[in-house]
Amino acid sequence: MKRPDKRILLSYPHMSGDEIEYVRDAFASNWIAPLGPHVDAFEKETAEFAGVRSALALSSGSAAIHLALILLGVGAGDTVFCSALTFIASAAPAVYQNAVPVFIDSDEDTWNMSPRALRRAFKAAEAKGVMPKCVIVAELYGQPPKLDEITEICEEYGVPVLEDAAEAVGAEYRGKKCGSFGSIGVYSYNGNKIITSSGGGMLLSDNEEYTARARFLATQARDAAPWYEHTEIGYNYRMSNILAALGRAQMLHLEERVARRRAVFERYREELSCVPGLSFMPEYEKCRATRWLTAVLISPQTGKSFMDVLRYMDRQNVECRPVWKPLHRQPVFKGCGYFADGEKSVSDSLFERGLCLPSASAMTDEEQEWVIRSIKECLS
């Protein structure tokens, strides 16, 4: 095998060919923007898919998280609990609201929010007399967290869950779709996600008052009047009809895309499990992760760090990526609170060893073969 000329990328859009027909339809009807029938249909189809009563298509997953925080009453000076091991977009909208994030560690079983650390954070908040306004639970690389335990703890304290399912579109926990567990759930259709509308997001909720209010806020908070009447400040956060057309066409293939990402993961596991010192992100019982990205741990016994492997792979024309740097370690969140799982911080230890391998659903078998061979070479 020789080094590929074309770089093997981590994750990129996977078009089926149906997209152009859907977008053509939007053009033919001249529903270009802002809204239109594809937006309505995309919302309806996504709500049905997720098993929730209502959904709202937005310009990004970040916009959906921002509106969700507003709906949950997060404002200046409030505290919000948030997964530590996730992309910054999980927590940044809390700062848009001038709220203060407090970060919660992962557990070893799911790499997601640790119920034990969450309970400790609640106990500390109770002692201080300042309860968080909500708990933002991320679903790392499409893996469902321990949702039963987390929901139970949050219910005990009467604090709502915001489920950040940006990476978990199509994932399941106990046979129910991710995105349907929180008071509000969020999907992302960014270009590198499981399916893409080239950019966009969805807010999901069983509470139709939430989606109605979010719809109002996302459309510049226009009151019902013949002229432009405003009693509140809103946002320009809606999804355009063209992008919704693209998103709907992608939805038709969502199950295949998840199955393919899972197959990519399985092949890595079959072929690389024999490499001493290399291990894989687990899958929690009763769950079906999307395996958006295949994540592995490189133990010190290999004599290599994750950055050594990343640099080696780069020379092989393969794009790898470190696991998210935990948010409590980001300079911008310096001084924010953090609750570790136990004696040691799990998210820190995952970051120090973690690496994501190319996982695109459109990746060819030959490309994956090259990645596997390169990893074996690097670690042999």
Ligand X SMILES: *Cc1c(COP(=O)(O)O)cnc(C)c1O
Residues that bind ligand X (CB under 6 A): 60-62, 86-87, 89-90, 138, 164, 166-167, 188, 190, 201
Q: Is the CB of 143 or the CB of 211 nearer to ligand X? A: 143
Q: Is the CB of 136 or the CB of 159 nearer to ligand X? A: 136
Strand partners, 298: 278
Report the half-sphere exposure of 20 (CA within 13 A, side-chain side).
Answer: 4
Q: Is the CB of 201 or the CB of 304 nearer to ligand X? A: 201
CB of 179 to ligand X, least distance (A): 12
Query: What span, in angstroms and rounded, lies between the C-alpha atoms of 289 and 188?
Result: 16
Q: Is the CB of 244 or the CB of 379 nearer to ligand X? A: 244
CB of 158 to ligand X, least distance (A): 25
Query: Residues 157, 185, 117, 262: is their CA dihedral positive or negative?
Result: positive
- Cβ contact 340:113 at 8 Å: no
Q: Is the CB of 60 or the CB of 205 nearer to ligand X? A: 60
- Per DSSP (E only), the strands in 19-158 are 54-58, 79-83, 100-104, 134-138
- Please name which of 232, 205, 244, 263 lies closest in space to residue 47, comparing C-alpha atoms: 205
Using CB atoms within 10 Å of the CB of residue 214, give its burial: 0 to 12 exposed, 13 to 18 middle, 19+ buried: buried
Residue nearest to ligand X (CB): 61
Single-letter amino acid code for the residue at 41: A
Q: Is the CB of 190 or the CB of 241 nearer to ligand X? A: 190
Omega within 30 of 0 (cis) for the link into 300 = no
Q: Is the CB of 31 or the CB of 87 nearer to ligand X? A: 87
CB of 8 to ligand X, least distance (A): 21
CB of 60 to ligand X, least distance (A): 3
Give the tokens for residue 115: 């119920």
CB of 143 to ligand X, least distance (A): 11
CB of 262 to ligand X, least distance (A): 18
Query: What span, in angstroms and rounded, lies between the C-alpha atoms of 110 and 285?
Result: 9
CB of 142 to ligand X, least distance (A): 9
Using CB atoms within 10 Å of the CB of residue 280, give its burial: 0 to 12 exposed, 13 to 18 middle, 19+ buried: middle
